[in-house]
Amino acid sequence: MKKKARNQERDERIGDSKSGMKIRRENRNIGAPTMFAASNIDLVDDNEELLQRAIPQLIGFFRPTTINFTDLIRMKQIFDRNDYFYTDLILRKIGSVCEEILIQCKWKEELINCTSIFEETYTLEGLCCSFNYFDRSRQNSEPTRTTSTGWHSGLMLTLNPMVERIQHSSIHALGIKVHIHNPFEYPAYGTSSNIASPGYTYFFQILATQQINTEKVRDLTSDERHCVFADEYFLTYHKYYYFSNCMVENYARYLYKSCGCVFFYHTFSDKPKCNITDIPCIQTFFKDYGSMRSNIYCPARCDEVKYRVRTTSTKLNNVSKALIEE
């Protein structure tokens, strides 16, 4: 490549995708919530020592952690005084946004404005950058497709993983998590994922397999065939039935029953969103969810496209980092 990296130590390229068949559906969700130092936010009357101690506790929105309720209340008061009333806004301020992570984008070897093909989305792992993903607001749109295979017909990205800022993350690894999933499927619960570590070039080969069933299978009961057809099982918020969509809707439903709110990343839901002072209840919910999950019925789909991802990587040397194309 020919671009001189703006930050040679932190830029990386996430590779090109291809499939052994026509790629009809290819998604990438890139990123994870990162909790940054308080100095990354401009606050009035701030208590930096408190925020340094309390901000990492925001990971409590994503997984079990140790919290101090007094710290959370005082932190919320500081944010309220600075007009940071919404959790998603707070995490955007202290985390990485797509404009910072996405340095360069190519589609079919053509340079393209990253913001024209990526959208910021909220998932179980925080703020992500999504390509070709159609959430509830875009479910009547058509996915981007390519008619050939090979790296030249796919998506090529140059990324900055922002390693100098990362303090806490919902993933237990350094790097950027990449999800490959159906465009209408929520990126979680069994969707294929890979970790792209800083300092490497990655090539993701996406292999799609379409699973179909005959009409004779439809004559069986769902219990006998261990799956449902899309026109047999309907969800409250998502237009298309997928296992992941079903699981996330049930997750939100049980959270609302437990805490009277849903996560900020449950953007499909019309229920109130949880705020910082709800984290103690959320932590209790995490402990109890295992027993609740046994009551959830989310069967597999009888007809769907499944993805396998083959990954190869090459470590970047200093020359490679300096030659990333402009």
Sequence ranges of the domains in the chain? 1-34+95-209+306-326, 213-302
Whether 279 has a pLDDT exceeding 60, the answer reads yes
- Output the average pLDDT for the chain: 76
Residue 154, φ and ψ in degrees, nearest 5: -115, -155
> What pLDDT is recorded for position 189?
74
> What pLDDT is recorded for position 323?
41
Superfamily designation of domain 213-302: Acid-sensing ion channel domain (1.10.287.820)
As a residue count, the chain comes to 326
Count of C-beta atoms within a 10 Å radius of residue 62: 21
Yes or no: say if 157 and 174 are a contact pair by the CB < 8 Å rule.
no
164-188 core/surface letters (b: 16 or more CB in 10 A; e: else): ebbebbbbeeebbbbbbbbbbbbbb
Which of 76-85, 221-230, 253-262, 295-304 shows the highest mean pLDDT? 253-262
Alpha carbon distance 191, 306 (integer Å): 9
Whether 281 has a pLDDT exceeding 90, the answer reads yes
Q: Which helix (H) or strand (E) holds 280?
A: helix 279-293
Mean pLDDT calculated for residue range 190-209 = 84
Confidence of residue 213 (pLDDT cuts 50, 70, 90): confident
Report the top-level CATH class of 1-34+95-209+306-326.
mainly beta
Confidence of residue 27 (pLDDT cuts 50, 70, 90): very low
Q: Which helix (H) or strand (E) holds 54?
A: helix 48-54
Mean pLDDT calculated for residue range 11-34 = 33
> What pLDDT is recorded for position 166?
54
> CA angle at residue 63 from 276 to 60, to 5 degrees?
20
Lowest mean pLDDT: which of 3-7, 22-26, 84-88, 162-166?
A: 22-26
CA dihedral 70, 74, 75, 80 (to 10 degrees): 140
Smallest CA-to-CA distance from 176 within 192, 163, 165 is with 163
Yes or no: say if 63 and 10 are a contact pair by the CB < 8 Å rule.
no
> What pLDDT is recorded for position 260?
97
Q: Which helix (H) or strand (E) holds 316?
A: none
Beta bridge partners of 155: 107
Whether 10 has a pLDDT exceeding 60, the answer reads no
